[in-house]
Every structure is written in structure tokens, then in C-alpha cells.
Amino acid sequence: MAMIEGYNMPDELYYHKDHAWVRLESDGTVRVGMNDFYQKTAGDTTYIDLPFEGDDVSQGETCGKIQSAKWVGKFVSPLSGEIIEANEELEDDCTLINKDPYVEGWIMVLKPSDLDEELKELIHGEDVKPWLLKEIEEAEKQ
């Protein structure tokens, strides 16, 4: 687990520039959610418009909305594929995104259509820290 300036950014995850994370699952699917920086910056989540199971999404496409005490933001799919599950627990308690963004606060499970190519577009490993530091700097300017 990597702590970067107080943000929990697990090493095994891949990150999209719009702050979605991707965890590779053993069955070939990927679990997706919003990272710790996003949830701390947004504040308490008050509502989530979940993506629909069975829908096909493209990498970078908006497939849901997340509302917090501070603003309404888009949920962008970090990879292309078919949504095979949405975390319906979030409909009852969307603050799971804040309480536990990487375990209970996941948003969807995706069957990726072009995993090998699209993973190259995500931020991973040594690239996470400089990217996040730049995001922190940008957030502090606002």
C-alpha cells in the first residue's frame, strides 16, 4: 500500500486520470471504484447514479454520476467492456465510497474488451506518485 501525502493509493491498482481505480480479478474481470484522493477531495458522497448492468462502455466514457456535499461529478469508465455488476449496496449507503473506497465502496465490475491495450493508458506503479502530486497541486489552486 502506498501512502502519498496522506492518500491511500494501493500499489496493485491501476488509476484512470479521472480518479477511477481498477483491480484485476482472478476470473478476468476488473473491479472499479473511485480512489481515495477523489473521495477526500469531493467530501461525503450524498448520491450515486450507478451504471447499468449489461451496458457496454468505452474507456473514458461517462457512465454514472456521483454527488457529494461539495459538487456533482462524473464517473468515468477507466476501461472498455461490458458492465456485469453494479454495487447496489451503494444505493442504500453511498458513503461506502468514503468509508472504504477500495473494498466495500467499489462501483462496478467490468468484463473488459481490450484489457492489454487499455491498461497501458492507465497510471500504475512508479507513475502514480508524480501524477497524484500534480493532482494535489491542481486541487490546492482551486
pLDDT in tens, 3-54: 999 999 999 999 999 999 999 999 999 999 999 999 998 889 999 999 999 9
Using pLDDT thresholds of 50, 70 and 90, give the confidence band for residue 70.
Answer: confident
pLDDT in tens, 92-119: 999 999 999 999 999 999 999 999 999 9
| C-alpha cell read off for 116 | 492489454
Separation between Cα atoms, residue 137 and residue 85, nearest integer Å: 35
Instruction: Indicate whether 129 pLDDT > 80.
Output: yes
Which residue type occupies 18? Answer: D
Give the pLDDT mean for 66-75. Answer: 88
DSSP letters of 6-61?
Answer: TEEE-TT-EE-TTSEEEEE-TTS-EEEEE-HHHHHHH-SEEEEEPPPTT-EE-TT-
Per-residue confidence (pLDDT) for residue 1, from 0 to 100: 60
> Which option is the CATH number for 2-131: 3.30.1490.190, 3.90.79.10, 2.40.50.100, 3.40.50.2000?
2.40.50.100
Given a contact cutoff of 8 angstroms between Cβ atoms, the answer to whether 14 and 119 are in contact is: yes
Q: What is the pTM of this model?
A: 0.93
Per-residue confidence (pLDDT) for residue 132, from 0 to 100: 95
DSSP-derived 3-state class of residue 91: helix
Q: Which residue has the higher pLDDT, 141 or 80?
A: 80
pLDDT in tens, 130-142: 999 999 999 888 7
Q: What is the b/e burial string over 21-52, where b = at least 16 CB atoms within 10 angstroms of the residue's CB?
A: bbbeeeeebbbbbbbbbbbebbeebeebebbe
Q: Where are the domains of the chain?
A: 2-131
Per-residue confidence (pLDDT) for residue 122, from 0 to 100: 98
